[in-house]
Amino acid sequence: MPMLYHKSLTLQNDLHAIPTLTEFVTAACEIAGFDDDMIMKMNLAIEEAVVNVINYAYPEGITGNVEVTITVDQKDFIVVVSDSGIPFDPTQKEDADITLPAEKRPIGGLGIFLVRQLMDVVSYERRDDQNILTLRKGLPQQNQ
């Protein structure tokens, strides 16, 4: 399957990296032929996955990296988010209960839920002391 796009970005575990991530993701989405609605959704899913690493992968005060690689082939938009932090499989996290009333809704827990909702496939593996989270979204039909 010929690749249309393949690029990596390495960020520090710092929320100030988010605008750089947004630029990187938006550029890849444009190559993939996504419309504004889908660009927003891909940015959201990828931001949530990366923020999860920024906030939880490394101990407080320790600088670490998170690498984001986006590949676009004829069929899919594939995002790999990897880090060398503590082992954590977000796919094992229970889904947020979105039917609860406001008083009972926990304040967090929506990040991974959104990743799952927005992507077609989310998979995790621990390899070479790295957390590797792969997100996959099918391209719009007319591009294929």
Partner 1 sequence: MKLLNKTISNMKTTIEERDGNLVAVFEGRLDTLAASEIEKELQKLNDCEGRDIMLDCAAMDYISSSGLRLFLSILKNAKSKGSHVYITGCNDNLRQIFTMTGFIKLFEFK
Torsion of CA 18, 5, 70, 25, to 10 degrees: 20
Residue ranges that bind partner 1, judged by CB under 8 A: 13-20, 22, 36-37, 40, 43-44, 47-48, 51, 54-55, 60-61, 63, 96, 98-103, 105, 107-108, 110-111, 113-114, 117
> Would you say 55 or 130 has its CB closer to partner 1?
55
Rounded distance, CA 48 to CA 93, Å?
14
Q: How far is the CB of 10 from partner 1 (least distance, A)?
A: 16
Q: How far is the CB of 114 from partner 1 (least distance, A)?
A: 6
- 82: closest CA among 124, 41, 25? 124
The string of DSSP codes covering 66-93 is EEEEEEEESSEEEEEEEESSS---GGGS
> Would you say 20 or 130 has its CB closer to partner 1?
20
> Would you say 15 or 31 has its CB closer to partner 1?
15
